[in-house]
Structure 1
Amino acid sequence: MSVEVILPCLDEREALPWVLGRMPPGYRPIVVDNGSTDGSAALAAELGAHVVTEPRRGFGAACHAGLLAATADVVCFMDADASLDPRLLPEVAWPVLSGRADLVLGRRVRRPGASWPLHARLGNAVLARSLRQRTGVPLRDLGPMRACSRAGLLALGLTDRRFGYPLEMVLRAAAAGWRITEVDVAYLRRHGRSKVTGTVLGTMRAVADMRGVMREVTNRVMREPSR
């Protein structure tokens, strides 16, 4: 069974050769260009990726555009900045492909020199703890490498198009009774500077977006009749 890999992309020309060159057999990359000015889209196409253009800026907008463009039964998501090794995708996707889980997240294990500053790790830890308390899902990381059913994810009806998209995915999946788990993946040094967690301000904005999503989705689910 083939798997499609959605890679939101904003000025990642430096990292794309390494990322796309390490894509495992049977894993087809969909690079979603979200306003790059460094030629990322053209390079991705030259390297054999299917390129989708999403003019509306936002991490969630790029992820969702890739989801809409995908056709495989199972999709993966990961960053295009070389902080995660595509060769680990089969380990993340296998529980979904084998029917043992509905959503799998890669729990990032920091390697020496990894581009994961303290403020970003603390923000992630706070959000993961809040998620465990609200849903009971035993996740320790809201990692960007993940795998799930394409049709199932579309049916969840995610609405956030900013930094809250990954969190809304987990919240909606938990509310729908999905089996959610995580596997360890190495977290490496990214190429270039992060657009989200590279600064304290960027991390604060991402955390604020995610907290807003957590409140909104939790309240909405509580108002919905049980199925």
Structure 2
Amino acid sequence: MTYTRVIIPAFNEEGSIAKVIHDIPSHISEVIVVDNQSTDETFKQAESAGATVLYEGKMGYGHACLKGLSYLKELREPTDIVVFLDGDYSDYPEEMDKIMAPIIQDDIDLVIGARVKSKREPGSMTFPQIFGNWLATTLMRLFFDSRFTDLGPFRAIKYKKLLALNMEDKTYGWTVEMQLKALKQKLTYTEVDINYRNRIGESKVSGTVKGSVMAGVKILGWIFKYSFK
């Protein structure tokens, strides 16, 4: 039996979080929502939908993900695979089995859900997101001979491999840090094309100029940091 746990960082996602949880395949061992200082009913909605809900008082996507990992380390039950998923309903949680399949069937370490243009709903990714993904993955290809085409947050990774990455980013750089460290540690990886739709509610990163700039700076910072190591 494969024990899979899902970590969902969430900030003010009361309109979407229950939908996300309900669409996750029923065989998943546990769904963990990390409420990152929400001022709405995110915590209550997630709890009512059946998730384990944690509270992280320090703002930042990475802070929320690290809170989820701290929780996993305290469990007595095993964890084989960790899936990361956003709480805004832009991804299709029912595609989770497709993302995990390369790990279960082919022993791949890390799988990224790639938001390819042909499967994206019009308007679901902003220009800064599209350009940022292109720039980051192009630099990763040039510097590390990477085959990544996306920094998509919907992803699955073997739990033991994730622990070995010693993740540390507290904010916008979590996804690219994981991919860069996977390249450095020579983990096996692949991408799976996934569907992507317009999120429910406003994006806290790509929906603001400040968020887009800060995310871009953090992502490029990680890439150049590892380029000269």
| TM bracket (short chain) | over 0.9
Residue 124 of structure 1, CA deviation: 1.4
Residue 200 of structure 1, CA deviation: 3.3
Preserved CA contact (<8 Å) 1:119 1:200: no
Residue 96 of structure 1: aligned partner: 103
Residue 5 of structure 2: aligned partner: 4
What are the residue-to-residue correspondences of 1:77-226 with 2, within 5 Å? 77-110=84-117, 111-219=120-228, 222=229
Residue 62 of structure 1: aligned partner: 64
Q: Distance in 2 between matches of 1:211 and 1:19?
A: 30
Identity of aligned residues (%): 35
Say which is worse superposed, 97-106 or 187-196, in terms of deviation. Answer: 97-106
In the superposition, the TM-score normalised over structure 1's length comes to: 0.92
Residue 75 of structure 2: aligned partner: none
Q: Distance in 2 between matches of 1:146 and 1:106?
A: 6
* Counterpart residue identity of residue 58, structure 1: G
Q: Distance in 1 between matches of 2:121 and 2:217?
A: 29
When the two structures are aligned, how many residues end up with a matched partner?
A: 220
Q: Distance in 1 between matches of 2:172 and 2:142?
A: 21
Change (3 A) 1:120 1:157: same
Q: Please give the root-mean-square deviation of Cα atoms over the aligned residues, in Å.
A: 1.4
Deviations 1:125-154 (A, max 9, x none): 111111111221201111111001112111
Preserved CA contact (<8 Å) 1:2 1:26: no
SS of structure 2 residue aligned to 1:8: strand
